[in-house]
């Protein structure tokens, strides 16, 4: 394999610098000691991180986002694991159509999903509730949960299951003691990726959230619409820190390129 020339490396340097620039700027501005937007030139200060505590809307929104992300990813897996096992192992009528349907939330613009869910939940009198948000998030994160579980179930060594059956394992203990432990890395990564998707979603959630059920991205977006000040940069810095932690863990345990491979691919 040939090496990169100096020109290629310069291009690479600029490319990477531009990719990280907006994220770095947000994190730097968050540490400003001034009362207005500026890069911290006279020392660093945590005043804007302390300011978050006196703005309960952000704290509340953070807990909503965290709970919603954790719960919706878990519920999505309850539906996705059996579906993934069926799609990975059996050839049945309508298998391709089902897989396409289950991955379709990836293809439908989130603004359309937001509108559809708002219309639906309003007509059944659930609009603005946490339950409505939860159901909507389950649908949106389902493809991510399904895809990683599917990958794990497809690559599984079936002879282990055969052995368990021949030793007299029942269907449930077969699943709980053999199948589930074997596909667990895929299931956990699916949960983590689904969590990040739910935690970050703005476009769909902005249609459904009401005061009291606003998630963190929605709260941040509405705040930015009015004015941009250092407070929202310190909140963003916290969000970035949470995501980076999840990301590094995902990369360690599963490999980021594996998690993301075909993420945007519409499930051909």
Partner 1 sequence: MSAVTDMAPASAAATPSELTVRAPRVLTAPALMLFVGVLLIPLAMTVMLSFHDWGQYKGIEPVFILKNWREIATDPYYAEMFWRTFRIALLTTLITAALGAPEAYILNRMSGSWRSFFLLVILGPLLISVVARTLGWALLFGGNNGLVNKLLMSFGLLRSPLPFMFTETGMVVALTHVMMPFMVLSVWAALQRLDPQIENAAMSLGAGSFTIIRRIIMPQIMPGVLSGAIIVFSLSASAFATPAIIGGRRLKVAATLAYDEFLNTLNWPLGAAVAVLLLVALVLIVVGSNALIERRYAEVFR
Site for partner 1 in 107-166 (CB under 8 A): 107-112, 115-120, 123, 135-136, 138-139, 142, 154, 158, 161-162, 165
Binding residue (CB under 8 A) for partner 1 from 44, 46, 210, 224: 224
Phi and psi at residue 265, to the nearest 5°: -60, 135
**Shortest distance, position 246 Cβ to partner 1, whole Å:** 8
From residue 230, give the alpha-carbon distance in Å to each of 21, 108, 141, 206: 17, 35, 31, 23
What is the DSSP secondary structure assignment for residue 5, as one 8-state letter? P
Under rule CB under 8 A, residue 177 binds partner 1? no
Under rule CB under 8 A, residue 57 binds partner 1? no
- Binding segment toward partner 1, per CB under 8 A, in 2-10, 41-49, 53-61, 181-189: 2-10
What is the DSSP secondary structure assignment for residue 34, as one 8-state letter? S
Closest CB to partner 1 among 21 and 44? 21
User: In which element (H, E) is residue 218 found?
Assistant: helix 216-226
| CA dihedral angle for residue 30, residue 245, residue 258, residue 94, rounded to 10 degrees | -90
Report the distance separating Cα 10 and Cα 125, nearest Å: 57
Q: Position of tokens 């590094």?
A: 248
Binding residue (CB under 8 A) for partner 1 from 49, 51, 182, 200: 200
Under rule CB under 8 A, residue 3 binds partner 1? yes
Under rule CB under 8 A, residue 202 binds partner 1? yes
Binding residue (CB under 8 A) for partner 1 from 35, 170, 181, 212: 170
């Amino acid at each position: 394999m040939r090496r990169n020339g100096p020109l290629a490396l310069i291009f690479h340097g600029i490319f990477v610098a531009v990719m990280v620039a907006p994220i770095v700027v947000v994190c730097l501005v968050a540490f400003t000691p001034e009362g207005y937007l500026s890069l911290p030139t006279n020392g660093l200060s945590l005043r804007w991180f302390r300011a978050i505590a006196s703005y309960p809307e952000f704290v509340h929104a953070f807990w909503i986002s965290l709970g919603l992300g954790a719960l919706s990813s878990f519920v999505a897996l309850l539906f996705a694991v059996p579906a993934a096992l069926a799609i990975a192992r059996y050839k049945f009528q309508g298998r391709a159509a089902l897989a396409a349907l289950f991955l379709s939330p990836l293809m439908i613009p989130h603004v359309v999903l937001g509108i559809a869910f708002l219309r639906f939940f309003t007509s059944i009198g659930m609009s603005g509730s946490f339950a409505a948000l939860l159901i909507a998030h389950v649908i949106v994160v389902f493809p991510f949960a399904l895809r990683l579980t599917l990958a794990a179930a497809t690559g599984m060594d079936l002879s282990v299951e055969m052995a368990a059956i021949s030793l007299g394992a029942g269907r449930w203990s077969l699943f709980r003691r053999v199948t589930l432990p074997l596909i667990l890395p895929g299931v956990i990564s699916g949960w983590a990726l689904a969590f990040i998707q739910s935690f970050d979603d703005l476009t769909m959630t902005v249609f459904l959230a009401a005061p009291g059920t606003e998630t963190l991205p929605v709260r941040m977006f509405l705040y930015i619409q009015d004015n941009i000040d250092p407070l929202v940069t310190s909140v963003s810095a916290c969000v970035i820190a949470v995501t980076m932690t999840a990301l590094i863990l995902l990369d360690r345990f599963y490999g980021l390129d594996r998690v993301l491979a075909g993420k945007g691919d519409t499930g051909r």
